[in-house]
Amino acid sequence: MIREEIARLVADAAQAARDSGDLPSIALPEIEIERPQRPEHGDYACSLALRLARTVGARPLDLAQSIARNIKPHEAVGEVTVAAPGFINIRLREGWLARQVEVARSEGDRFGNLPLGNGQRVQVEYVSANPTGPLHVGNGRWAAIGSTLANVLKTAGYEVQQEYFVNDMLTQIEIFGRTLYARYQQLYDLPAEIPADGYPGEYVIDLAKEIQAEQGDRFLGPREFGPEPPPEFKTIGVTKMLKSIADDLAMMGVTFDEWYREASLYGADSRYETAMGILRENGYVSIKEGAVWFTSTMLGEDKDNVLVRSTGSPTYFASDIAYHYDKFVLRGFDRVINIWGADHQGHVSRLKAALFALGIDPLRLDVVIGQLVTLRRGGEVVRISKRAGDIITLREVVEEVGPDACRFFFLTRSADATVDFDLELAKQQSNENPVYYVQYAHARIAGILNLAGERGVDYADGDVALLTHPAELALIRKMLRLPELVEQMARSLEPHHLPHYALELATVFHDFYEKCRVVTDDVPVTKARLKLVEAACIVLGRTLALMGVTAPERM
């Protein structure tokens, strides 16, 4: 990337200034190259002089001038200036900018790819909702964040596996099974009641009807009308619920490489027992009040945590420890990224403590905490689901506004901020709707290229050196931001920058379209601009693909 080349130029210049005596002989910090907030200041800026000033006791403006004087000529650099109080500003050469159109065209769908990850194996686990009910809109948001982050990491050179952790051993699974069985019995007019803490949504009735249609009354034995369902019945219910969850996610274009069952941790090889054994060997297990505890206070936690209840049943925390032992040690992921809901915030530090106790570097685990979604219809908050009772289901929202709008809107804020999702705005076919605005830009681009094809314009020999209009160069500058953005998002795990970049790119393209007619009687300029339009199509299409949003050719 050109930003890295500029960083090397500045580093070499600082070293040259130090060798010549213009800078004191001190260790130089890492060079940071930024984008100025105001375009008139240039394409890139460096604040190295400001960071050095206090250490060396000199005016930052003088230091900046010393470094700037030593920056060697480069084909991409057109101008180097110094601005108060000590910034080094760099403007790219227009001819070099124009040539980047050919780079984008040649790289095509590889544009924006980086070797940052160097093939490291990363697992992204997200959604992982209990298979006891339909997904809610918050789950949908985490699905959009997780799948987009996986796309970004793949683009940055990581080998990525996407996983859904199926909690199929929770108390809630038992309650779900009893609720479903009661609904099933009620279909035969039997006096069964759903548990007090059961699931009241109509989806449970629908699920019971499915089982009735497929299995008939074979789960009704003589006088066996109690609350406990036969084991096979509960298994069928959970399997059907998981299929419903997978179908809902597929509507958003989300699929997983692995659906990992919690129950498998306790199978023949008992990864759970292995992980607990390591904790005991390392001295982090104690017995108190008839329960087994992880002595996390030894590692700086406020309190110890129960691993096995006095009843003998493992806690969710114990399962999670075994699950992460499996991820890091048995499956060998270099890095694990979990996307959890806000109710799991307090779980992060104790899990990292458990990893340390297992001999695993806690820094290899990243946890992104996701906040929920507030649905609005104009100014009115939507609170009640038609089918699920107390939640708004993901399926309802996807069916109303479409998967593209869902994914785009879910991504517009950082994971730790609540999203306000206006259903009416998401359905508008106007520039007020950001999804429509961006997709319309892509459709307009495709329309231009189709028009050129219909007119038989062959622009393969177009000369991009003719691209000198400020609107043309502004579009190229914006296109070059994508690789930098991929690097930024891969490091920060913040894919919410993508929809904002897509809007900026679409805006710059629309401005170019208004100011620079593409297909005209001026054949050389037409060919050059068609190359630019093709490059813009590649970059905007790549941006939409990273978000999992379609890139329409007609609207």
pLDDT, one tens digit per residue, over 79-88 is: 999 999 999 9
- Residue 100 to residue 404: CA distance in whole angstroms: 30
Q: What are phi and psi of 281, to 5 degrees?
A: -60, -35
Quote the tokens at residue 175: 């309650």
Residue 119 has a pLDDT of 94
Q: Compute the distance between CA of residue 479 and CA of residue 535 in angstroms, rounded to an integer.
A: 8
Model pLDDT for residues 396-431, shown as the tens digit of each residue = 999 999 999 999 999 999 999 999 999 999 999 999
Contacts of 224 (CB under 8 A, 6+ apart): none
Whether the Cβ atoms of residue 124 and residue 161 lie closer than 8 Å to each other: yes
Q: Span 91-115, mean pLDDT?
A: 97
pLDDT given at position 40: 87
User: What digits encode the pLDDT tens for the residues 221-249?
Assistant: 765 556 789 999 999 999 999 999 999 99
Q: What is the DSSP string of 153-213?
A: HHHTT-EEEEEEEE--SSHHHHHHHHHHHHHHHHTTT------TTS---HHHHHHHHHHHH
Three-state secondary-structure class, residue 282: coil
Is residue 43 very low, low, confident or very high in pLDDT (cuts 50, 70, 90)?
very high
Structure tokens given for 109 = 């769908």
Task: Give 27's pLDDT tier (boundaries 50, 70, 90).
Answer: confident
> What number is the average pLDDT over the span 114-135?
96
Complete DSSP assignment for 519-533: SSS-HHHHHHHHHHH
Query: For residue 363, with 0-12 CB atoms within 10 Å meaning exposed, 13-18 middle and 19 or more buried, which class applies?
Result: exposed
123 within 8 A of 161, measured Cβ to Cβ: yes
Give the H or E element holding residue 294. strand 291-294
Please classify residue 284 by burial: count the beta carbons closer than 10 Å to its beta carbon, then call 0-12 exposed, 13-18 middle and 19+ buried: buried
DSSP type of residue 33: E
- Residue keyed to tokens 């809107």: 409
Residues 235/131, Cβ–Cβ less than 8 Å: no
8 A C-beta contact, residue 525 and residue 383: no
Residues 53-63, mean pLDDT to the nearest whole number: 90
CA-CA distance, 295 to 279, in Å (whole number)?
A: 10
Tokens for 215?
């299995």
Contact (CB, 8 A) for 509 and 535: no
With CA atoms as reference, report the closest residue to 255 among 245, 266, 241.
Answer: 245
* Over residues 36-47, mean pLDDT: 91
Query: Do 397 and 375 form a contact (C-beta atoms < 8 A)?
Result: yes
Cβ neighbours of residue 489 closer than 8 Å, sequence gap 6 or more: 149, 152, 495, 497, 498
Beta strands in 401-503, from DSSP E residues, in sequence order: 419-422
CA-wise closest residue to 95 among 553, 467, 421: 467
Q: Which domains occur in the chain, in start order?
A: 2-92 (3.30.1360.70), 97-116+431-547 (1.10.730.10), 121-166+254-370 (3.40.50.620), 171-251 (no CATH)
Q: How many angstroms separate the CA atoms of 35 and 290, rounded? A: 60
More confident residue, 21 or 145: 145
From 267, 250, 21, select the one nearest 143 (Cα to Cα): 250
**pLDDT at position 30 over 80:** yes
Could you tell me the pLDDT band of residue 2, with boundaries at 50, 70 and 90? very high
